[in-house]
Amino acid sequence: MLALRNIRKSGDGVLKGKATPVSRFNAQLTTLLDDMAETMDAAEGAGLAAPQVGISKRIIIFRHEDSVVELINPEFILKQGESIDLEGCLSCPGIYGEVARPQFVRVKGCDREGRPLELEGEGFLARVLEHEIDHLNGVLFIDKALRLLTAEELQKLREEG
């Protein structure tokens, strides 16, 4: 039985904390991951971190092509290059800003069964990975944005769809 979780918004203390590693790969984790995927899709997000649903654990998910990728206890192995682009966050509705992110990342972690896995991301995927892992360290994109869009720019963005 899937359930939508409440997405915590900027200002909620759980988004400011450092999340703790997952040590038990059990049914509770499975339920949380399934609920997170449901919640991310319902909100049309590109990714979601557990603190965003009020759980201060090192868990991220993101959409890649047609599937949802889950990564538990993610750690960067490599970050390369830099790319500045616009981004937003489900925890900061209506706010968009320009953020510098690596152009390429390699990340290790494990899957929902606790099996080790490694993955790479370039461009948008590298951006999503760093954005979501930042959430595990209490960092929101608005904390590191080079600049936030103005009301006029937001209006223009909406008009352009």
Which amino acids are annotated catalytic? 132
Alpha helices in 18-161 (DSSP H): 27-42, 124-136, 141-144, 151-160
Number of residues that bind Ni ion (CB under 5 A): 1
> By C-beta, is 69 or 89 nearer to Ni ion?
89
Among 89, 125, 126, 136, binds Ni ion (CB under 5 A): 89
In this chain, which residue has its C-beta nearest to Ni ion? 89
Region near Ni ion per CB under 5 A, out of 33-41, 85-93, 104-112, 153-161: 85-93
- Any idea which residue has 């223009």 for tokens? 156
39-to-44, 65, 135 alpha-carbon distances in Å: 8, 18, 16
Region near Ni ion per CB under 5 A, out of 11-19, 89-97, 115-123, 145-153: 89-97
Region near Ni ion per CB under 5 A, out of 18-26, 58-66, 86-94, 104-112: 86-94
65-to-21, 85, 123, 158, 159 alpha-carbon distances in Å: 27, 20, 14, 24, 26
20, 149, 28: which is closest to 73 by C-alpha? 20
> By C-beta, is 32 or 116 nearer to Ni ion?
32
Cβ 90 to Ni ion shortest distance, Å:
6
- Paired strand residues for 85: 99
Residues contacting residue 152 through CB under 8 Å, at least 6 positions apart: none
**Per-residue contact flags (x/-) with Ni ion for residues 16 to 45, judged by CB under 5 A:** ------------------------------
Given CA atoms 123, 124, 127, 129 in this order, what sign does their dihedral have? negative
Cβ 24 to Ni ion shortest distance, Å:
25
Residues of the shown chain interacting with Ni ion in the complex, contacts defined by CB under 5 A: 89
